[in-house]
């Protein structure tokens, strides 16, 4: 005869560790922090090297110019670049009563990035745990780091929190475990066939995950010859617009390539501030306008749906 | 995870945690009814998986600190928060020796807890006596 042993669910006492309460406390801290943030916007791609951090840094600067309070989370834990692009590399941090104070940037937004926690500009991210078992814990730890970047940073009241995600379609899912329904998921592509193929997968991934507000930004999409002004294409005849049409996604902006923009970015000067009259700066300012319109409509829709 | 004493049908309570320093962990649970003890032994991978969740087996004796997980597990981190410290805290040789006995896995976090304790009280040098006082006041165990 099999003896009857109480199951986990039948045993009410937690026995000391109370792991459920510890996880709940983490979730509560995150919820409390997000309550002060009006709109979380994720900037992702799936593909590396398409300019996600460039778009994030400049979009943040453009939103500040529109009068918003903006914070930026560099979620690329292993290859952080947003601090460099916002002119805040190696900026000091301080612990306040309600968390870690984010770094201030010249663009007027605040920032939290792994770059600010590393010992030097050349130091890679290396964890204390033995790397030979990294496959077991690394993904969990990186998600935990992102949770802390959002929940433990004393952002104050924000209109926008932009989250700059690293390459990899799975990174979108990781963010959704923390922020289930961002105000917008901006997918950055270039017109190249390699980039659009990966971004198409990210679009499908986001739809399967139930993200409502997904839009496309096409970066390095054409350039004007500095000498004669002739319009040229970097990637043949393909375009971000074609991907948007094929995947039935709104295209919020087409940012042309500009060599001077790259140089300003490396100096920590967003093009919005360094060269506001360039086509690239105007395109990013337009993305900020569309985003503003989008969140206004979204808020109105939510308000109407919840009205008595 | 719960431990049930089958003889008493009672949930066993967490009693003690030991970190030998090789990445493994030992957690002792006791049955309040009959006094029986069991030790849960985890290998480095299991220990690290729990650690990377920001969870402490046996529960927390001090509240979770801001960015505790990143600060305690990042091996290549600098002293990013140095400028926030109003008092520069130093460690005596014997306090450093005692700290060296703490497993590397949690040493950074333990050092931070003692340093914060000292700064908040304007203590410039951490000695073994200060460590004992902090342990008593903060309810730390095995640190």
pLDDT tens digits, one per residue of A213-262: 999 999 999 887 777 767 778 777 778 899 999 999 999 999 998 888 88
Q: What's the rounded mean pLDDT across residues A139-155?
A: 93
Instruction: Name the residue facing A130 among B2, B23, B80 (closest C-beta).
Output: B23
Q: Write out chain A residues lying below 8 Å of B84, CB-based.
A: 92-95, 101
- Return the residue of A nearest to B11 by Cα: A15
Rounded alpha-carbon distances, angstroms, from residue A59 to A109, A291, A292: 10, 10, 11
Identify which of A208-212, A285-289, B96-100 has the greatest average pLDDT.
A285-289
* Residue in A6, A117, A138 to test binding to B, most B beta-carbons within 10 Å: A117
Is the Cβ of B93 closer than 8 Å to some Cβ of chain A? Answer: no
Least-confidence region, from A157-171, A232-246, A264-278, B120-134: B120-134
Q: Would you state the pLDDT for residue A262?
A: 80
Q: Which residue of B has its CA nearest to A154?
A: B66
**What whole-number percentage of chain A has pLDDT above 90?**
56
Portion of chain A with pLDDT greater than 70, in percent: 96
- Which helix (H) or strand (E) segment holds residue B91: the answer is strand B90-91
Q: Which residues of B touch A29 (CB under 8 A)?
A: 64
Q: Give the gap in angstroms from C-alpha A17 to the nearest C-alpha of chain B.
A: 4
pLDDT at A206: 94
Mean pLDDT of chain A: 89
pLDDT at B81: 67
Q: Which of A41-45, A242-246, B13-17, B130-134 has the lowest mean pLDDT?
A: B130-134
Selected residue with higher pLDDT from A233 and B121: A233
Query: Given A117, A133, A148, which is nearest B80 (Cβ)?
Result: A117
Residue B86 has pLDDT above 70, yes or no: no
In the predicted model, what is the mean pLDDT of residues A34-56? Answer: 95
**Does the predicted TM-score (pTM) go above 0.90?**
no
User: What are the two backbone dihedrals, phi and then psi, of residue A51, each rounded to the nearest 5 degrees?
Assistant: 100, 30
CB contact under 8 A, A16 and B45: no
Interface of B with A in 99-128 (CB under 8 A): 104-105, 108
Q: Do B70 and A15 touch (CB under 8 A)?
A: no
Q: Minimal Cα distance from A115: which residue of B?
A: B77
Q: Is B76 on the interface with A (CB under 8 A)?
A: yes
Closest-CA distance, B119 to chain A, in angstroms, reads: 13
Per CB-CB distance under 8 Å, the chain B contacts of A144 are 52-54, 69-70
Distance CA B53, CA B50 (A): 5
Q: Is the pLDDT of residue A134 over 50?
A: yes
Q: Mind listing the pLDDT tens digit for each residue in A63-104?
A: 999 999 999 999 999 899 999 999 988 888 888 878 999 999
| pLDDT score of A306 more than 70 | yes
């Amino acid at each position: 005869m099999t003896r009857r042993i109480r199951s986990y669910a039948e045993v009410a006492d937690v026995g000391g560790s109370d792991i459920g309460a510890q996880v709940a406390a983490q979730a509560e801290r995150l919820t409390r922090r997000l309550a002060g943030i009006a709109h979380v916007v994720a900037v992702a791609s799936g593909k590396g090297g398409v300019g996600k951090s460039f778009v994030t840094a400049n979009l943040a600067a453009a939103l500040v110019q529109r009068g918003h309070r903006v914070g930026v989370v560099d979620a690329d834990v292993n290859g952080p670049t947003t601090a460099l692009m916002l002119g805040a590399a190696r900026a000091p941090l301080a612990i306040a009563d309600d968390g870690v104070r984010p770094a201030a940037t010249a663009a007027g937004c605040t920032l939290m990035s792994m770059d600010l926690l590393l010992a030097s500009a050349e130091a890679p991210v290396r964890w204390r745990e033995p790397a030979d078992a990294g496959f077991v814990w690394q993904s969990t730890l990186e998600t935990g780091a992102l949770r802390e970047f959002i929940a433990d940073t004393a952002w104050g009241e924000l209109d926008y929190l932009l989250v700059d995600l690293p390459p990899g379609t799975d990174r979108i899912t990781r963010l959704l475990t923390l922020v289930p329904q961002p105000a917008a998921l901006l997918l950055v592509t270039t017109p190249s066939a390699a980039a659009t193929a990966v971004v198409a997968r990210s679009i499908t991934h986001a739809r399967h995950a139930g993200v409502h507000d997904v839009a496309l930004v096409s970066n390095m999409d054409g350039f004007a010859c500095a000498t004669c002004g002739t319009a040229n294409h970097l990637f043949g005849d393909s375009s971000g617009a074609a991907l948007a049409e094929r995947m039935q996604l709104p295209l919020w902006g087409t940012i042309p390539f500009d060599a001077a923009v790259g140089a300003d970015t490396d100096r920590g000067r967003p093009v919005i501030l360094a060269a506001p009259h360039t086509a690239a700066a105007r395109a990013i300012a337009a993305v900020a306008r569309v985003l503003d319109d989008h969140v206004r409509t979204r808020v109105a829709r939510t308000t109407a749906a919840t009205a008595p | 995870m719960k431990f049930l004493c089958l003889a008493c049908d009672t949930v066993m309570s967490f009693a003690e945690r030991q970190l030998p320093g090789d990445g493994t962990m030992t957690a002792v649970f006791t049955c309040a009814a009959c006094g029986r003890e069991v030790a849960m032994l985890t290998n480095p991978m299991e220990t690290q998986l729990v650690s990377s969740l920001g969870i402490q087996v046996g529960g927390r004796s001090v509240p979770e600190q801001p960015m505790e997980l990143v600060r305690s597990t990042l091996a290549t981190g600098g002293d990013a928060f140095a400028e926030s410290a109003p008092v520069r805290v130093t460690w005596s040789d014997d306090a450093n020796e005692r700290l060296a006995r703490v497993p590397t896995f949690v040493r950074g976090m333990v050092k931070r807890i003692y340093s914060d304790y000292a700064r908040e009280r304007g203590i410039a040098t951490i000695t073994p006596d200060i460590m004992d006082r902090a342990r008593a006041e903060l309810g730390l165990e095995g640190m």
